[in-house]
Amino acid sequence: MASCGIPHRVVVQTLRTVNRSCSVLTRLSDSTIRAFHPSQTCSRPYCFRQQLCHHHDYRLTRRHAISGARSSPWCSTHLERPVSTSSTLLAEATVNPLTDTDPFKLAADEVKDLRADICKVLEANEPKMQEMAQYYFSRGKMFRPMVCMLMSKLCNNQNNMGDSVLPSQRIIAMVMEMLHSASLIHDDVVDAADERRNMKSLNMIYGQRRSILAGNFIHTQASKIISSIGNSRVIALHATAVEDIISGEFLQLHTKEDESERFKLYMKKTHKKTASPLACYNKCVAILSNVDETLIDAAYSYGYNFGMSYQIIDDVLDFVGQEKMGKPTDSDLKMGMVNAPVLFAAMECQDLHPVIMRRFSEPGDVEYARDMIKKTSALDRTRDLAAEHIEQAIRSLDHFTPCPARDALAQVPLILSRRKV
């Protein structure tokens, strides 16, 4: 096993998996290879170029500009394959295990009773309020608490605490899921959504006013239990997560005339609304483990990059079909919201700019934008961007010593990028 952190076997299998998931590893830059496996820190030499070329006959070159499109102002390095090659959708990918560690099984014991514990926290004197607050906890993937539990195990392992999760870290996982569910309730009110998780949305059943109050109630209960931990840094991070979700929702209502500023706004919104909560709560469990600041920052980096990749892939799925996920296609466009595929398509199709500025409000705008996204390299470039954040998330784990939780966390962003249509 190499001394640089993640074993070379795991990293190579990770790269192969990203290829099958994203079909974006036809060209891999030298800088990316060095970032994954810096040879100067390894106890025995290992060449990614030879390994990748041997198995996949890849040519490894610097990124070249997409024909007819301007260079991306926000991404310095991409993992890209030729635009003419038909890519395999992330949703169709099969992820091979990096190790024998299954992230869902590893955190199963800690996650299995979490719904019941959350529902107990949401008990209220008013039966209708309790029913509404507990409504969305009957379903859901619970992957956010799973990630939180795995990060807790990983950080605790660094301090020779074994494969355990502290009671305070379990509270963080509960708060994370509660905050997410409260934001879904408020999102559905803002978006006037009629369905969530293949069932009627809360606002469709109880109306907007009651739904807003139910979301607020979940927020207050989450704040109450996290304050019981008594750690000022943790409480401050919780406040940051709440503030960022609200700011992200607000930013989503705006757009910019300038193309580069428009994408910066999208990235900022994605950071605030999706990546920040994952980053903040991963940092919380690291703080509670009493690990050093380097590992605390690494936990934050993992959560941030995983969150960014998750939302970016969600944007791809908005155009390739999500009916089985309880969310129809083109839902963002129909609500006047701009996401990465639209912005990438606008780089190659100038006629999309006025459509974006009027927020797809005229008849035929949504259909036109969808057609341009499919005719350009927009979806491929969006997958490239998600793959970059997946890489960064996995690199963050290199700061930790090997253990099953670290191997499991390396798989999580890859597995969750396979959300199927």
Q: Give the model's pLDDT for residue 71.
A: 32
Q: What angle (nearest 5°) sits at the alpha carbon of residue 289, between those of residues 288 and 293?
A: 90
- Mapped onto helix, strand or coil, the DSSP state of residue 150 is helix
Cα separation, 409 vs 390, in Å, equals 11
What are the CA-CA distances from residue 38 to residues 27, 31, 46, 52, 359 (Å)?
Answer: 19, 10, 9, 16, 45
In which residue ranges of the chain is pLDDT below 70? 1-100, 257, 321-330, 419-421
Q: Both tokens of residue 413?
A: 């962003």
Kindly report the pTM of this predicted structure. Answer: 0.75
CB 52 within 8 A of CB 84: no
Query: DSSP secondary structure string, 185-249?
Result: HHHHHHHT--EETTEE-HHHHH-HHHHHHHHHHHHHHHHHHHHTT--HHHHHHHHHHHHHHHHHH
- CA–CA distance, 358 with 138 (Å, rounded to integer): 38
Model pLDDT, residue 29: 33
**C-alpha to C-alpha distance for 93 and 84, rounded to whole angstroms:** 20
Nearest to 51 by CA among 93, 16, 21: 16
Q: Can you give the pLDDT at residue 19?
A: 44
Q: How far is CA 81 from each of CA 68, 104, 347, rounded to the nearest angstrom?
A: 16, 31, 18
- CATH code assigned to 92-416: 1.10.600.10
For residue 148, give the nearest of 281, 273, 305, 300 by alpha carbon: 281
Supply 32's token pair.
């990316």
Would you state the pLDDT for residue 320? 79
Angle at 211 between CA 210 and CA 217, to 5 degrees: 90
Helices 276-288 and 167-191, packing angle to 10 deg: 170
In the block, residue with structure tokens 């529902």: 119
pLDDT tens-digit readout, 311-351: 999 889 888 765 445 455 667 777 778 889 999 999 998 88
How far apart, in whole angstroms, are the C-alpha atoms of residue 41 and residue 404? 22
Sequence-distant (6+) residues with CB within 8 A of 70 are: 347
| Torsion angle of C-alpha atoms 344, 347, 350, 353, degrees rounded to 10 | 50
Q: How far is CA 396 from CA 3, 36, 302, 304, in A?
A: 15, 10, 6, 10
Would you state the pLDDT for residue 250? 87
- In Å, how far are 3, 50, 122, 189 from 208, measured between CA atoms? 55, 59, 20, 6
Cα torsion 351, 354, 357, 359: sign = negative
Alpha-carbon gap, residue 295 to 331, rounded angstroms: 38
* Main-chain phi, psi angles of 299, to 5 degrees: -65, -40
Place of tokens 């050093």: 292
Phi, psi dihedral angles at 200 (to 5 degrees): -60, 140
Spatial distance between the Cα atoms of 277 and 291, rounded to a whole number of angstroms: 20
pLDDT in the model for residue 17: 43
The DSSP bridge partners found for residue 200 are 195
Helix, strand, coil percentages (3-state) for the chain, rounded to 5, are: 65, 0, 35
Measure Cα distances from 347 to 71, 207, 353, 358, 381 in Å.
Answer: 9, 40, 9, 17, 11
- Could you count the other beta carbons within 10 Å of the beta carbon of residue 368? 17
d(CA 132, CA 220): 15
- Helix count and strand count (H, E) for the chain: 21, 2
